[in-house]
Amino acid sequence: MNSAVFLTTEGSPVLETMKEFERAGSTVLSCATCLNYYGRQEQLRVGAPTNMKDTVEAMLDFAVTLAP
């Protein structure tokens, strides 16, 4: 959420690590509203855009949730 979308978009210094997490079975989500706000929606390189409803559901359902 918020500026964390810079971690999943082009130019991220941790992009390859995020891709490794995804390949290992992690779900990587980026707030679509935040991507739009920062003008990064076309630069998303790992994971999927999501909305607040899906984000909250994921945070409640996943066994582990990582946050910056």
Give me the phi and psi of 48, to 5 degrees please.
-140, 150
Residue with token string 């999927």: 48
Structure tokens at 8: 């999943």
Q: Say what the pTM is.
A: 0.82
pLDDT of residue 68: 64
Instruction: Give residue for tokens 């810079």.
Output: 6
The DSSP bridge partners found for residue 49 are 30
Q: Which two tokens stand for residue 44?
A: 């998303």
Tell me what pLDDT residue 3 has.
93
Taking only the tens of pLDDT, the chain with its 68 residues reads 799 999 999 999 999 999 999 999 988 999 999 999 999 999 999 999 999 898 888 888 888 777 66
